Structure 1
Amino acid sequence: MLGSFRYNDGCIVARTNEAKALGLKMGDPYFKVRGFLEQNGVAVFSSNYTLYGELSHRVGLAIASLVPQWERYSIDELFCSLDGLPEPIIDVGRAIQARVLQWTALPVGVGIGHTKTLAKAAQHASKVWREKTGGVVDLRKPEAVEWLLRRMPVDEVWGVGSRMRDNLARDGISTAWELSQADARAMGRKYSVVLERTIRELQGESCMDLEQSVAPKQSICSSKMFGQRVHTLKGLQEALATYIHRAAEKLRMQRSLCGAMRIGIQTSFHGDGPKYANTATCIPPYPTDDVRQLTKCALQAVKQIYRPGFAYSKAEVLLMDLRKRGEFTQDLFSPSQPERSAALMAAMDRINRRWGHDCLRTAAVPLTPDWGMRRALLSPSYMTSWEQLWQVKCS
């Protein structure tokens, strides 16, 4: 039985089926259930995003080796196009499941449907009835769709949350089947075009194409709660420099330049201590992806909003006014990012990809910050760190 924590080992955010059967809830604070976990032999781990990202990448590689097109929806979900693959398609689903297990040792569920929403419903069924289905469900036949949707609560439908569930309940809709039989256009006028699209998808009309290219983000945010409170300006500057380092990497990955940046600091709003929160916006001299320029702006801006005497619990960086590199216009007299700056950032990214995420960084980013996340129960990064590589002794 396993459980996983969110930032700073605070709350449970992932559970195995065995842990769920014990009554553990999503979001349970660790300090409240720690004794219960120990009594029942539940193993708990701090969140390890480097490991999860690498596993997600390897799952994608395994699936991409078997299908013509695919789209990453989230870190643990992908959509695939099965067009042109031979029948029976359910065998393709089993092949996907087997290859992911072979390449990553991760058990996955596979749902097959004519639309994204029906495929998500099928994937839901593959988890609920895993023993009967083997974790692969083909929902292309109308009778199979009706059988499942009649048994599926409406809030389990992709895109329908608890708030919409309550609204639909007042309309006499409690199951996915009842939602699929509603008038899509009328429901769209009453609620939203998103719900109309969901209903049409439940009816078998594809309204969402496979997205193989990810649209550039319009803003990039980097923010985390501190592992322990920060009281000094230097500590806040270190945190902001660290977050800018990560945000600037994402900025360069999508080949964008930042025209404005907002930074923020805040204390915890719980407890009896004094409360304070503030933000500052800074404009670099020219749109840039240079982490040095962005860090310089942020370290100056935080001086304007820092107030001594407070125990700060969080800082954030938001890169805004993003422009595609080479696709924005400026007048003849406006300064622009020097070519040598772009070349330096490209070299830094290459070195960091080759030798490690934080191999090169600005001097303001500390090696071992005092304010870093609490992850006392961190699982090993055995896929991305030579020092933590699993060792097997054969005799």
Structure 2
Amino acid sequence: MIALVDCNNFYASCERVFQPKLENKPIVVLSNNDGCVIARSNEAKALGIKMGAPAFKMQSIFDRYAVHVFSSNFALYGDLSNRVMNILTESVPAIEIYSIDEAFLDLEGVMKPRQFSIDLRAKVKQWTGIPVSVGIAPTKTLAKVANHVAKKYKKEGVFVMKSSKTINEVLKYIPVDELWGVGRQYAKFLMERGFHTAHDLAHGSESWIKRNMTVNGLRMVKELKGISCYTIECETARKKNICTSRSFGIEAKELHELKEAIATYANTCAIKLRKEKSLAHSICVFVRTNPFKESAKQYNASQKAMLAVPTNDGMEITKQALAVLERLYKKGFNYKKAGVIVGDIVPDYSRQLSFFYQQDILRRQRVMNSLDYINTTMGRDKVRLAIQGFDRKWRLKQEKLSPCYTTRFTDMLQVNLDQ
């Protein structure tokens, strides 16, 4: 049996962990620059607030119903996600971390999967404060369906789909557009041909499914029938590229502003490479104006460059990124977004040390390790490259950012034991 553990309204739940007064209150979390709604509590959903809705259009609802609005705090969300995943990893023989708030668990050998999941759910809640739902079934696709049902059982939060009878009954109430792997276009295509529910699809012609939905569609249908086609993938595939990009809170006009941003993004890419024990052999920089300002002059450009040797050295990657930016920059434009992509990624053990540069590479590697240690223990960006700047006006607008309770010493909650 396979279990899918899904954190309930994850971003909103993270905001509640350290602010219990928000329990049962409507919460929304906004995207970069506080632009759109990217997460909602159940109470906010009940008010009709839609995913992706522009924040300024929702302001009247926010005010009328006292909705608690937060800027996205990815440092907090990422740390709490790691804590949840660590608990899950210690509890089962195999786990596939599917996203920041979802994981598939291998329940092979678990004698009582339902009770095990109830206990695991309680443990995650007690240790992290994050509520989760657990769906259990013979296949990944059915586990997704079971999790969908589990969310409706709020008290227990666990649902098991094991017998053919239970599976068939549940599939009758699952619309095809809610199935894992069925996008908007496929859903429309299927409904036009009489497939309205997962049950309809599970009992359709396999040859027709394969012909019209490729082998992936056929695998999905087999999984709906209880035939496992997707195993638990314990090892995370190495990323082909890593991108760091942001929209600016205030449009950047001058080259020095873009340099600060690109240097910051390049260094972030390097940090991610080192965390994954990887090296990059290429770098791409892009800049663009605001496409939604039709009255403004538009400019959108990108350029790729190869690095002399694969590296995760933040100083070297930043140097090359700035050289590319110099070639891209054109004066007279208001830049809204920029980014850095490092690609052609290889594992760091494949590094080939040049006879001429071996000592320099090893020395710089020690410098990077020292920077990582300082910034991990003392706080993010405590030590950074001077080119990253200090008065970074272009930075994200995050006017409603909650404290980084678990990743920044100055934001830790204080408990007064004298009262």
The bucket for the TM-score relative to the shorter chain is over 0.9
Contact residue 8 and residue 373 of structure 1 kept, 8 A? yes
Match of 2:371 in 1: 348
Q: Do structure 1's residue 27 and structure 2's residue 49 form an aligned pair?
A: no
Distance 1:329 1:354 in 2: 31
Contact residue 184 and residue 197 of structure 1 kept, 8 A? no
Give SS of 1:192's match.
helix
Distance 2:379 2:216 in 1: 41
**Cα root mean square deviation, aligned:** 1.9
Q: For 1:78-157, list aligned pairs within 5 A.
A: 78-87=103-112, 89-127=113-151, 129-131=152-154, 134-157=156-179
Give SS of 2:91's match.
coil
Provide Cα deviations, 1:155-180, integer angstroms capped at 9, x if missing partner: 11111121110111122111011111
Match of 2:204 in 1: 182
Provide Cα deviations, 1:199-240, integer angstroms capped at 9, x if missing partner: 111111111111111111111111111111000101101101
- Offset of residue 324 of structure 1: 2.3
From the superposition, tell whether residues 196 and 338 of structure 1 become closer, same or farther in structure 2 (CA, over 3 Å). same
1:386 counterpart (388, 396, 409)? 409
Contact residue 285 and residue 335 of structure 1 kept, 8 A? no
Distance 2:362 2:217 in 1: 48
Distance 1:223 1:81 in 2: 35
- Offset of residue 256 of structure 1: 2.0
Give SS of 1:168's match.
helix
From the superposition, tell whether residues 303 and 121 of structure 1 become closer, same or farther in structure 2 (CA, over 3 Å). same
> What is the total number of aligned residue pairs between the two structures?
391
**Unaligned regions of 5+ residues in structure 2, if any?**
1-25
2:344 counterpart (293, 316, 321)? 321
Give SS of 2:148's match.
helix
TM-score by length of 2: 0.89
Distance 2:251 2:124 in 1: 41
Q: For 1:1-395, list aligned pairs within 5 A.
A: 1-87=26-112, 89-127=113-151, 129-131=152-154, 134-271=156-293, 272-327=295-350, 338-394=361-417, 395=419
- Offset of residue 186 of structure 1: 3.5
Contact residue 286 and residue 335 of structure 1 kept, 8 A? no
From the superposition, tell whether residues 326 and 68 of structure 1 become closer, same or farther in structure 2 (CA, over 3 Å). closer
- Offset of residue 328 of structure 1: 6.7
| Percent identical residues | 36
Distance 1:368 1:115 in 2: 52
Give SS of 1:211's match.
coil
TM-score by length of 1: 0.94
Distance 1:85 1:320 in 2: 41
Give SS of 1:45's match.
strand
Contact residue 310 and residue 351 of structure 2 kept, 8 A? no
- Offset of residue 32 of structure 1: 0.9
From the superposition, tell whether residues 197 and 335 of structure 1 become closer, same or farther in structure 2 (CA, over 3 Å). farther
Contact residue 265 and residue 278 of structure 1 kept, 8 A? yes
Contact residue 63 and residue 99 of structure 1 kept, 8 A? no
Contact residue 379 and residue 409 of structure 2 kept, 8 A? no
Amino acid at match of 1:166: K
Amino acid at match of 2:125: L
- Offset of residue 348 of structure 1: 2.4
- Offset of residue 74 of structure 1: 0.3
Distance 2:410 2:357 in 1: 45
Provide Cα deviations, 1:307-347, integer angstroms capped at 9, x if missing partner: 111110000111112222343779x8997772222232233
Distance 2:413 2:375 in 1: 23
